[in-house]
Structure 1
C-alpha cells in the first residue's frame, strides 16, 4: 500500500530510542526524511546516520532538550535549515514518574509540564508555519492511556499526559483550516528500554527474573496478556501520518491491547 509519504520530512522528539526510534524507522521505510531530536548527542547522531544508510533517506540528529525553549528552537531551526521545513511533527519525548501529590515538589511538577506539554506547544508554534507554507501537514502527540486511566504511583505523569491530550484537541480545531491534521495517541503497555530497565531494578534483589515481572504486569493490566512492541505502535503512527488517514482530525486513539476499561 502506498501511504503517500515519500519525500516528506518528519520531526520526531525522543527519536533515538524506544518508541520514537521505531516511529523513525517506520517513516524512513516509507521514504520520509527525518529530523531526530534527543538529549544525547552521540546516540541521536549515530541513529540518524544508521537510518539514513539503511533506508536511503536523509536524516539529521539534533542534540536538544525539548523541555527548554532553547531546545525546541534548535529543533525548529534544524528542520528549516536542513529541509526547508517539516511536514510531520511527532511529539514523543517523555518519561514516567513516581511520587505522591502531597510530597512532590513544585520543581518536579514544572519539569514534567515543560517536557510533556510545553515542548509540544513550542514545537507546534514553530513547525506549523513551516507546514502551512508546504501545503499542510500532520502533528501527532504521544500521550498515554494514563491520561484517562491513571496509575496511582505517577500522578504528575498522569496529569501532564492528560493535558497533552486536551492540547491536541484544541490545536486540531485551530490548525485544520490550514490542512494540518492533529491527533493524539494513547499507548498502553509498550516494551521500551525504560520498562526493561525498571523491571531489572525491581527484581535485582529477588533473583532478577525481570521477564516474569513484566509478564505479571501484562497479566494484570492488558487483556491481550503481553506488552506491545515499539514497532507495533509505530505502525499506527505511520498510518496516521499518511494520506490514508486524511479524515482523522482531533481524535485520540488507544493502542493498548484492551487495557482501557471504559467505552
Structure 2
C-alpha cells in the first residue's frame, strides 16, 4: 500500500533506538526524510547514517535534550534550516520511572514533566507553524497504556503520560483548522532495549533467565501472551502519519495486545 509519504519530512524524538528508531525506519521505507533526535550523539549519528544508506533518504541527526527549552529551540532551528519545514512530528522521547509518591522529590516530578509533557508542548509550538506553511501535517504523541491503567511502581510515569494524552486531545482541537492532525498512541508491552536491560538486571542473581522473566510479564498482563516488537508498533504509527488515516483526529489508540481491561 502506498502511504503517500514520499519526500515528507518527519521529526522523531528518542529516535536512535527502540520504538523511535523503528518508526524512523518505517517512515524512511516509505520515502520520508527524517530528522532524528536523541541525546547520545554517537549512537544517533550511526543510526542516521544507516537510515540514509538503507533507504536513500536524507536523515539529519540532531543531538539535543528535548526536556529543555534550549534543546527544543535547537531542534526547530536545525529542521527549518535543513529542510525548510516539516510535515510530521513524533513525540516519542521518554523513559520509565520507579518510585513512590510519598518518597519521590519534587525534582524527579519536574524532570518527568519536562521530558514527557513540556517537550511535546514546546515542539508542537515550534513546529506546528512550519506545518501550517506547508498546508498541514501530523503530530503523534507516544504515551502509554499506563496513562489509563497505571502500574503501581511508577506513579510519575503514569501521571505524566496521562497528561500527555490529554494534551494530545486538546492540541488536536486547536490545530485541526490548520489541517494538522494530532493523535496519541498508547502502547502496551513493547520489547525495547530498556525492557531487556531491566529483565537482565532483575534476573542476574537468580540464574539469568531474562527471557523467562519477560514471558512471565507478558503472561500476566497481555492476553496475546507476548511483547510486541518495535516494528509492529511502528506500522501503526506509519499508518497514522498517512492520508489513509485522514479522519483520525484527537484520538487515543491502544496498541497493547489486549492488555487494557476497561472499555
Q: Same fold (TM over 0.5)?
A: yes
Secondary structure of 1:206's aligned partner: coil
Q: Who is 2:128 aligned against?
A: 128
Shift of 1:154: 0.1
Structure 1 runs (4+) deviating above 2 angstroms are none
Return the alpha-carbon distance in structure 1 between the equivalents of residues 45 and 97 of structure 2: 27
CA displacement, residues 147-175 of structure 1 (integer Å, 9 cap, x when unaligned): 00000000000000000000000000000
User: Are the counterparts in 2 of residues 12 and 24 from structure 1 also a CA contact under 8 Å?
Assistant: yes
Q: Who is 2:19 aligned against?
A: 19
Shift of 1:78: 1.5
User: Are the counterparts in 2 of residues 35 and 78 from structure 1 also a CA contact under 8 Å?
Assistant: no
Shift of 1:79: 1.1
Q: Who is 1:152 aligned against?
A: 152
Matches within 5 A, 1:176-215: 176-215=176-215
Please give the TM-score of this superposition, normalised by the length of structure 2: 1.00
Unmatched tracts of structure 1, length 5 or more? none
CA RMSD, aligned part only?
0.4
Unmatched tracts of structure 2, length 5 or more? none
Please give the TM-score of this superposition, normalised by the length of structure 1: 1.00
Matches within 5 A, 1:57-206: 57-206=57-206
- Count of aligned residue pairs for this structure pair: 263
Return the alpha-carbon distance in structure 2 between the equivalents of residues 46 and 135 of structure 1: 33
Shift of 1:74: 1.1
User: Are the counterparts in 2 of residues 199 and 213 from structure 1 also a CA contact under 8 Å?
Assistant: yes
Return the alpha-carbon distance in structure 1 between the equivalents of residues 5 and 219 of structure 2: 37
Q: Who is 2:46 aligned against?
A: 46
Q: Who is 1:260 aligned against?
A: 260
Secondary structure of 1:138's aligned partner: strand
CA displacement, residues 218-252 of structure 1 (integer Å, 9 cap, x when unaligned): 00000000000000000000000001000000000
